[in-house]
Amino acid sequence: MSTSYLNRSAAFLPLALLTLAACGGEGEPAAEAAAGAPRSYMTHRNWGVLSAGRQWGRVSGVYMDPNGTDIWVFERCGADNCITSDDPTVMRFNGNGMLLASFGADMFVRPHGMYVDREGNVWVTDGRGARAAELEANPDAARKGNQVVKFSPEGVILLVLGTPGTAGDPPAALDDPNDVIVAPNGEILVSEGHSGMSGPGRISRFAADGTYLGSFGEFGSGPGQFAVPHAMAFDSQGRLFVADRGNSRIQIFDAEFRFVEEWRQFGRPNDVFIDANDVMYVLDSESGDERNPGMRRGVYIGSAKDGTVTNFIEPHPSTREGEAEYGTMGEGVTVDAMGNIYVGEVSLSGMTMFMPM
């Protein structure tokens, strides 16, 4: 497939313009880019080698280690939840896909978001509690869900936010925590609300010791409101970028968490990762005629400085009902020091690496 340079001429990008870098199949190089065009990528599906006898499940949480080479993955126990599994859910891989460490067994209902801080501590969110039928079949699951856990790099539990197994308002509880991140000022931010039909649609703030400081945002579609604040990232200026998936936009907030602007040119965002040079990587697995018509599913690459979209990686082919026409892409994204893009897959399960050509 040919490639072409895409600049930000408008906030809404027509479908016809999003024909940038095509991905190759398993181990096949993408089409060579013309001089001056965005780079192409080679697609490596089923990246990462698990322990013997274990199969990949769905992955929505991935993040780079501070060393710039190791990749942390938060996986759903070979399925879409871990209610009946004692597999460790937090895993560390080197750049060659070799498993280095794992922990977090028998702690979570539905692994979701992940963040690794500058000290290498690993933060994860358990995205929901067990449902009634799940609790009836597995009463022990009542002690899991709706929590944020901070681990040391070795897997020691350092902090827990929320009351496991309880949904509600902070400080006592959390409600469907999607993602967690540490702000430049040391505050812990937790985005809550995974239903696009109802709330809470907020971001809750905690001090470094876990003391609740307050929340901002509410369910809705206006400036500073959220419908599934699915992921968060900070740029070099200390601005907060929120993947407001239910509203098909990225919202940007200043260092005091005041609304600045929204961007819709990066599709319907599942996750956003911003590197040290303010290059932004955004995943879209939901755009289509019913949700965010006119936009493409795939990986959007651009600038966190001015919102320019500079590259696009095509979605994976899919035979799943409702996806064949649009393809599919994952929910978690991170990038190493060499520019390799790692995507946690939910529809396809497992991990994908996109290697720049």
Residue 321: per-residue pLDDT: 85
d(C-alpha 11, C-alpha 287), whole Å: 16
The pTM assigned to this predicted structure is 0.90
| % helix, strand, coil for the chain, step of 5 | 5, 40, 60
Sheet of 99-103, strand order? 59-64, 71-75, 90-93, 99-103
Give 44-71 pLDDT, tens digit per residue.
Answer: 999 999 999 999 999 999 999 999 999 9
**Three-state DSSP class for residue 25:** coil
Q: How far apart are CA 282 and CA 313, in angstroms?
A: 10
Q: Which of 169, 112, 109 is nearest to 145 (CA)?
A: 109
What strands, in cross-sheet order, belong to the sheet with 212-216?
A: 177-182, 188-192, 202-206, 212-216
DSSP letter string, 229-246 = EEEEEE-TT--EEEEEGG
Instruction: Please report where in the chains the tokens 């902090």 appear, as a residue.
Output: 159
Handedness of CA 103, 106, 107, 112 (dihedral sign): positive
Cα distance between residue 75 and residue 349, in whole Å: 9
pLDDT score, position 322: 82
- Using 70 as the pLDDT threshold, list the residues of the chain that sit under it: 1-37
CA distances from 150 to 127, 159, 246, 247, 314 (A): 15, 5, 27, 29, 34
> Domain residue spans in the chain?
15-356
Q: Which segments within 37-154 are labelled E, that is strand?
A: 41-45, 59-64, 71-75, 90-93, 99-103, 111-116, 122-126, 147-151
Query: Which helix (H) or strand (E) is 263 found in, with range?
Result: strand 259-263
Interacting residues of 329 by C-beta distance below 8 A, sequence separation 6+: 270, 283, 284, 285, 297, 298, 299, 315, 316, 343
Cα–Cα dist 328/286, whole Å: 8
The pLDDT tens digits for 249-286 are: 999 999 999 999 999 999 999 999 999 999 999 999 99
Q: Where is 161: in which H helix or E strand?
A: strand 157-161
* pLDDT at residue number 37: 57
DSSP 267-327: -SEEEEEE-TT-EEEEEES--SSSSSTT---EEEEEETTT--EEEEEPPBP--STTTTTT-
- The CATH code that applies to domain 15-356 is 2.120.10.30
Token code pair at residue 8: 């930000």
